Structure 1
Amino acid sequence: MTGTTGTTGMNGGSGPLRVGLVGYGLAGSVFHAPLIAATEGLVLDTVVTSNPERQEQARAEHGAGLRFAGRPEELWARAGELDLIVLASPNKTHVPLATAALEAGLPVVVDKPIAGTAAEARTLAALAEEKDLFLSVFQNRRWDNDFRTLQRLLADGTLGDVWRFESRFERWRPRPKGGWRESGNPEEIGGLLYDLGSHVVDQALVLFGPAASVYAESDVRRAGAEADDDTFIAITHANGVRSHLYVSATTAQLGPRFRVLGSEAGYVKYGLDPQEAALREGERPRAGKPWGVEPETMWGRVGSGESPLTGGGTPVPTADGDYPAYYAAVAAALRDGAPNPVPATQAAAALDVLEAARRSARDGLVVTL
């Protein structure tokens, strides 16, 4: 077993793996806790939150037997009772908490971004390797419906040689919501570049490989906003594919989620994967029941020579979204030494691009990697 594959459960292989979840805000309550609870072989054991309302919410959603801790350090003190730590805490806490968990001998899942810099991410990866512990990053949008569909189209050669990949994660939020995610304090690692940018960059690298150069434009558009809320990233991949990535909270008219142009055909897909909305509404994935299913009216189109909005192209069935697959893979890695679904070294490569994008936007230049 290595830091990039897995470990056998600390409970000796009997019973479910016990998970300690740090944080029960949006990430913890909407994404991690429901997906952990839905995964065979995992059980949510302890939630770290000192907020009484969040404790009450978590108990109502996950049972009276759920335990609570006021501080993460309480988990390190009883590391022998747990098999996995999941960090759904603010970005600035990811590195110190992941370091402490690994030092306590605990495998770790960290929400994205794993760190503020690629160097920090690689230091964490090296520590996990040294400790022979599992360390993974929650890049859930590798299991989005449109992304899985595009992977299928690339694998079967439908598009030919891809020349340009356009990816948009756009919203219309003309007034800032506040909170650490929109803070201008560099210590908070806020702003869309590191928030939604972590998703679109990761997807581009998974699809088309390493980046050779990066150019970016980043702006603070909204009155009262402190961090970037309208950012464009252009990646030239080592294989020649160009990725044009847009993340924005200021988009009054939303563009296609994906527009992929190849030598034989293009693929255009509108609309976001439905899983986040379903989780926010309280729906939960359950064995034997449909999950991540999209209506035919939202299917993307493959074709050439005409816009899909005027009837061009052929509708392509969208693969079902599958966020539960991430934690199923985590459980398999911990139990059986199966591959890590998202190694920290891959997250570090994405951070190389994000750091280059920040430098490019600041200095107005193309950054070579």
Structure 2
Amino acid sequence: MQLVKVGLCAFGMSGKVFHAPFLKEHPGFFISAIVERSKEESKEKYPEAVIYRSVEEMVNHADIEVVVVNTPVQTHFEYAKMALHAGKNVVVEKPFTVSLAEAEELVKLADEKGLFLSVYQNRRFDRDYLQVQKIIQDRKLGTLREAEIRFDRFRTEASGKQHKENPEQMGSGSLHDLGSHLIDQATQFFGYPQKLFADIFSMKGKQFANDYFEILLFYPNDLRVRLKSSVFSKEAHYAYIFHGDKGSFLQERTDDQENELVAGAIPEYGKEWTKPLQEADGILNFINDNSETERILMFSEAGDYMNYYQQIYEYIVFGYVLPSPGHEVIQNMKIIEAAEESAKEGRIISLG
């Protein structure tokens, strides 16, 4: 089996939870290098990896083919550009960069260098997202008329993470953090919208970056898609609400991969490693082919973030489709910037 050597730009929560466990358990990858500026925490679980003290040192000296840029979003452009110039393929975490211009420059550079650039959109491998995708493909709801996708939290106090909460830093706030997931899901389900209207602000006060947003996407045939997030949501809502001319589907956000990984779960390659659902997490209410109403409690199937790296491996070795390529995720950056413009000016923005 061909072995692909990978380097991680950081070993914080993201590296420990979302990347290193999957790269270690996948037989086609080898974690060859990890950046830790002062500590050596990675040695316990990944003793084979060489520790570098800076991203620049790693990309210029490590024996690696792929660089995972899993640092704060404000550094994504600098580190991804550095890696591409060093001849390395790049996996960069969502939302990609802090601006559309930076994202476009990186995509152009990757094309010029003949390298791949993929954005780590792990929520495409959540069980709830995959269930909604299946319902849409089955067309049991008929022609969709309205959809709402939410990602709520109850975090009313400051986290202390300046790169996420400082309003003076580009890329901070819920729109870039959680909005990048919801926008990606909307564009995967429905494509690129015609126009949008957005309301974005900070519920915790002006000293914090935005922690609330509502974005209304306008699609052809009068389809409306609403994206919403709040940090003042103590009681959970249905994360996905879809209405069509033949029925409705409500889906909870039930993927628990992140929590299980934090608790120490090992993501076994080729096996279902998450805990099974104990209760139904969705409701399908529709008119069947016999013109009868059916109301079904649904159980979503397990998601697996391993499939992201499986697709990366298949692209490298077999030339299969690259997951969430940079040129595709650029459309999400356009929507983020249009939403900011809409909220600032209080008007509908045409996306062209």
TM-based fold match above 0.5: yes
1:161/1:204 CA distance change after superposition, 3 Å: same
1:287/1:35 CA distance change after superposition, 3 Å: closer
CA contact (8 A) 1:175 1:223 kept: no
Alignment partner of 2:240 out of 219, 243, 258: 258
Write out aligned runs for 1:71-110 (5 A).
71-78=54-61, 81-110=63-92
Write out aligned runs for 1:4-23 (5 A).
15-23=2-10
Match of 1:61 in 2: 45
> Which whole-Å CA distance do the structure 2 matches of 1:195 and 1:226 have between them?
14
Structure 1 unaligned regions, length at least 5 = 1-13, 306-311
Match of 2:32 in 1: 45
> Which whole-Å CA distance do the structure 1 matches of 2:282 and 2:177 have between them?
25
* 1:61 maps to amino acid: K
Match of 2:290 in 1: none
> What SS does structure 1 have at the residue aligned with 2:237?
coil
Match of 1:286 in 2: 268
> What SS does structure 2 have at the residue aligned with 1:297?
coil
Match of 2:14 in 1: 27
* Residue-by-residue CA offset, 1:309-336 (whole Å, 9 max, x unaligned): xxx9211230211211000111111122
* 1:335 maps to amino acid: V
Write out aligned runs for 1:302-341 (5 A).
302-304=284-286, 313-341=295-323
* Residue-by-residue CA offset, 1:268-323 (whole Å, 9 max, x unaligned): 11233111111111112113542345414142010059xxxxxx921123021121
Alignment partner of 1:128 out of 87, 107, 110: 110
* 2:181 maps to amino acid: H
> Which whole-Å CA distance do the structure 1 matches of 2:44 and 2:206 have between them?
37
> What SS does structure 1 have at the residue aligned with 2:303?
coil
> Which whole-Å CA distance do the structure 1 matches of 2:189 and 2:173 have between them?
24
CA contact (8 A) 2:311 2:323 kept: yes
Does residue 214 in structure 1 map to residue 201 in structure 2? no
* 1:26 maps to amino acid: M
* Residue-by-residue CA offset, 1:230-274 (whole Å, 9 max, x unaligned): 111111124642211112212122211111111111111123311
> What SS does structure 1 have at the residue aligned with 2:194?
strand
Question: What's the CA shift for 1:38?
Answer: 2.2
CA contact (8 A) 1:208 1:239 kept: no
% identity of equivalent residues: 31
1:301/1:21 CA distance change after superposition, 3 Å: same
Question: What's the CA shift for 1:154?
Answer: 1.3
> What SS does structure 2 have at the residue aligned with 1:253?
coil
> What SS does structure 1 have at the residue aligned with 2:250?
strand
CA contact (8 A) 2:241 2:248 kept: yes
CA contact (8 A) 2:280 2:297 kept: no
Question: What's the CA shift for 1:41?
Answer: 0.5
Match of 1:271 in 2: 253
1:366/1:249 CA distance change after superposition, 3 Å: same
RMSD: 1.8
Question: What's the CA shift for 1:182?
Answer: 1.2
Alignment partner of 2:128 out of 146, 157, 170: 146
Residue correspondences, number: 344
Match of 1:4 in 2: none
Further displaced range: 250-259 or 227-236: 250-259
> What SS does structure 2 have at the residue aligned with 1:287?
coil
Which runs of structure 1 show a deviation greater than 6 angstroms over 4 or more consecutive aligned residues? none
Match of 1:183 in 2: 166
Further displaced range: 193-202 or 31-40: 31-40
> What SS does structure 2 have at the residue aligned with 1:100?
helix
> Which whole-Å CA distance do the structure 2 matches of 1:30 and 1:183 have between them?
25
Normalization by structure 2: what TM-score? 0.93
CA contact (8 A) 1:214 1:234 kept: yes
> What SS does structure 1 have at the residue aligned with 2:314?
helix
* Residue-by-residue CA offset, 1:80-121 (whole Å, 9 max, x unaligned): x11100000110111111111111110000001111222221
1:239/1:293 CA distance change after superposition, 3 Å: farther
> Which whole-Å CA distance do the structure 1 matches of 2:280 and 2:299 have between them?
9
> Which whole-Å CA distance do the structure 2 matches of 1:29 and 1:51 have between them?
16
> What SS does structure 1 have at the residue aligned with 2:176?
coil
CA contact (8 A) 2:26 2:269 kept: no
> What SS does structure 1 have at the residue aligned with 2:198?
strand
CA contact (8 A) 1:293 1:321 kept: no
Match of 1:3 in 2: none
